[in-house]
Amino acid sequence: MTEKEKMLNGKWYSPEDEALKNERLRAKTLCFEYNCLKPDEIDKKQQILKELLGKMGNNIIIEAPFRCDYGYNIKVGENFFANYNLIILDTATVEFGDNVFLGPNCSFYPPEHPLDPQKRNSLIEIGKPIKIGNNVWIGGSVTVLGGVTIGDNCVIGAGSVVTKDIPPDTVATGNPCRIIKESQRVINENK
């Protein structure tokens, strides 16, 4: 198995692999070009996103600056808005459903490193996928760690660090992120 195949199959791999380094360089170059475009160069921005992302729906807005590791592991549904300074370290799939809105300074971190220092010093890592459902609003400065699923119709409060799955139709916030209430939609349905 190549290091890329290991990465894509959720196994420990070396990001120091030459092919992976080249793919990261390609993504960094595309992100650099994207981030240097004028705000009114919308067609050029869309063209770069189509080249960079693995899947892209319609009506996608990502405010610059935007950074990612590979791009091809990012899947974005319809009606997606990300405010300034989005970071996605897509060593595994990071998938956003339809109607997802991200505040500024949001980060999505699939990579994990060994806890054992000797193994960690060998520079191996593993990627765990992140999945964001439909109709999700994620406030500013939220960090989502690998292996997390955020269900449909959720709201994640600003500054949260999401380390565990968040079920659908809930409002969650904090560090670590915890459910604080069911969404108004669920409350109204249960009346």
Question: Has 113 been annotated as catalytic?
Answer: yes
Amino acid at 59: N
Nearest to 49 by CA among 10, 17, 76, 69: 76
Q: Which of 113, 128, 131, 178 is catalytic?
A: 113
Distance of CA 40 to the CA centre of its chain: 25
Half-sphere exposure in the Cβ direction for 65 (13 Å, CA): 11
Pick the closest to residue 19 from 3, 35, 42 (CA basis).
3
Report d(CA 178, CA 5) in Å as an integer: 34
Is residue 168 within 8 A of residue 150, CB to CB? The reply is: no
CA dihedral 153, 154, 157, 162 (to 10 degrees): -150
Query: Nearest CA to 110 among 72, 148, 147, 146?
Result: 146
Active-site residues, by number, are 113
